[in-house]
């Protein structure tokens, strides 16, 4: 599948295409707008998130980050609030959705990327010093991007649910954008990496766009309760792969397992048990069960199960494997709660599995992340006694702008900061790095980007699970306190 984080490189691309539009981001970047620009001049794309350790805004993984953060708040908002982090969670979501509102400048126009990986990887600079291109790339009617439009629609629809009570006007605005983006992505179909070719090699849409359209439809159904969106997900289920793809990973690119889990959980609601729904939803559930059973090593054919390291970590591939672990932990946790609430069990080839066993395995993956592993290493930066000190991240590895306002150039950053053997001067607390190899080995080196680079979507899925575990720990502590008194 697609590479989970951009590849570290010291080569530039002199043949990079002209900017579609310049942005109000970097005073040092003066790139002329092309004839494809929405207007002559600038579009305000300040805000949003870089995907990882670089200074590029990639729209597809950014949107997935916000969708998963929102889903975590929807499922575990009380637990997040109990930990005193609810307002912080909403601030993190809104920082992303505010950007998407800016990027959606017309019902059928979405700005999908700012900067590009090739020129960005030529430089090792703090964001404050950026001299790299701030080109902005869009998808529109003539240059479609159904995958990025669909994921952004899912992000805004799920976030609209989050803000429904605390900020109803903002929630309504997000929902309007989500509806327009879904309609745009569905009407003008195509892969965004064919329209925004500079994204290839970084965040190519290997799974295509059909999973994002189904994913967006289900989130819009959850946000609006309008049957048209559910009917779309049911009628397109076979054609778009929703009930034909059996997948053993869930990521920013491949959404099938996530949408299959959401669809299968609808079966437990009375209104979805009508015959016109039930058959397709049952097929969705079958595919969701395949994924969950694969994580639990409960499918009959060993090749249909997810591999594990000797230390017990789910292992999909060497590049940023932790994203698949955190996503799996989230889906397993949500589904175990669903089974517990409806008094059901997971059906696997090797027998039924109860919700307690499912959640116990999800917890084991989180425990591994936090240090219960052969290396004795917490892969969550800033947590525990031993965690990665040389995270592959420009801002973390260079002295803070507050301490040194002197300009640091492209090659100067590589020579003086990237190649240093010392720990990073700044700690990105909460960043989940790529993690160990298939033998549980980890090399804490800045150039080892496959293992030491962290991505926003690694941590996003972990937030809800950590909140649930924290809530359980608090309740256990309270019950023990009462018993001792």
Nearest alpha carbon to residue 363 among 458, 459, 466, 291: 466
272 is catalytic: no
Task: Determine contact, residues 291/260, Cβ cutoff 8 Å.
Answer: yes
Backbone phi, psi, residue 232, to 5°: -60, -50
Task: Determine contact, residues 145/189, Cβ cutoff 8 Å.
Answer: no
Nearest alpha carbon to residue 115 among 59, 194, 41: 59
Specify which residues 351 forms β-bridges with: 348
Which of 121, 177, 392, 393 is catalytic? The answer is 392
How many whole angstroms from its chain centre is CA 102?
Answer: 20
DSSP state of 352: E
Handedness of CA 4, 10, 11, 13 (dihedral sign): positive
How many whole angstroms from its chain centre is CA 385?
Answer: 27
CA dist list (Å): 59 to 6, 50, 148, 376, 448: 13, 9, 7, 35, 25
Cβ-based burial of 16 (10 A; exposed 0-12, middle 13-18, buried ≥19):
middle
Specify which residues 457 forms β-bridges with: none
Backbone phi, psi, residue 26, to 5°: -125, 115
Backbone phi, psi, residue 47, to 5°: 110, -170
DSSP 448-473: -HHHH-B-HHHHHHHHHHHHHHHHHH
What residues are annotated to the active site?
Answer: 392
């Amino acid at each position: 599948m697609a590479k989970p984080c951009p590849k570290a490189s010291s080569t530039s691309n002199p043949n990079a295409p002209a900017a579609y539009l310049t942005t109000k981001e970097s005073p040092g970047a003066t790139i002329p707008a092309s004839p494809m620009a929405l207007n002559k001049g600038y579009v305000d794309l300040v805000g949003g998130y870089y995907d990882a350790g670089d200074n590029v805004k990639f729209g597809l993984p950014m949107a997935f980050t916000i969708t998963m953060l929102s889903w975590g708040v929807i499922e575990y908002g009380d637990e997040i609030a109990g930990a005193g982090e609810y307002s912080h969670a909403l601030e993190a979501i809104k920082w992303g959705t505010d950007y998407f509102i800016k990027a959606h400048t017309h019902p059928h126009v979405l700005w999908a990327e700012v900067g590009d990986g090739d020129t960005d990887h030529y430089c090792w600079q703090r964001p404050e010093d950026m001299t790299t291109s701030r080109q902005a790339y869009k998808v529109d009617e003539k240059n479609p991007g159904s995958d990025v439009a669909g994921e952004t629609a899912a992000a805004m629809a799920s976030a609209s649910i989050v803000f429904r009570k605390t900020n109803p006007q903002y929630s309504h605005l997000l929902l309007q954008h989500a509806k327009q983006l879904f309609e745009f992505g569905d009407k003008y179909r195509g892969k965004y990496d064919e329209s925004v070719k500079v994204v290839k090699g970084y965040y190519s849409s290997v799974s295509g766009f059909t999973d994002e359209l189904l994913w967006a439809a289900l989130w819009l159904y959850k946000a609006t309760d309008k049957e048209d969106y559910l009917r779309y997900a049911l009628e397109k289920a076979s054609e778009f792969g929703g009930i034909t793809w059996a997948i053993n990973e869930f990521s920013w690119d491949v959404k099938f397992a996530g949408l299959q889990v959401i669809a299968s959980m609808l079966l437990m609601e009375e209104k979805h048990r009508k015959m016109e729904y039930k058959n397709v939803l049952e097929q969705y559930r079958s595919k969701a069960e395949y994924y969950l059973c694969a994580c639990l090593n409960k499918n009959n054919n060993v090749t249909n199960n997810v591999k594990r390291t000797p230390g017990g970590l789910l292992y999909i591939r060497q590049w940023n494997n932790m994203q698949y672990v955190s996503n799996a932990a989230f889906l397993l946790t949500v589904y175990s709660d669903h089974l517990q609430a409806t008094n059901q069990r997971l059906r696997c080839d090797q027998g039924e599995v109860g919700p307690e066993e499912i959640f116990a395995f999800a917890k084991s993956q989180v425990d591994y992340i936090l240090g219960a592993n052969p290396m004795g290493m917490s892969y969550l930066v800033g947590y525990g006694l031993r965690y990665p000190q040389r995270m592959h991240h420009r801002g973390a590895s260079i002295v803070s702008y507050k301490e040194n306002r002197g300009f640091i150039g492209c090659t100067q950053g590589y020579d003086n900061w990237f190649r240093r053997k010392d720990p990073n001067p700044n700690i990105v607390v909460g960043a989940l790095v790529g993690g160990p190899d298939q033998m549980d080995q980890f090399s804490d080196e800045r150039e080892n980007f496959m293992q030491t680079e962290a991505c926003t979507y690694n941590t996003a899925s972990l937030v809800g699970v950590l909140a649930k575990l924290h809530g359980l720990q608090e309740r256990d502590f309270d019950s023990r306190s009462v018993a001792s008194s």
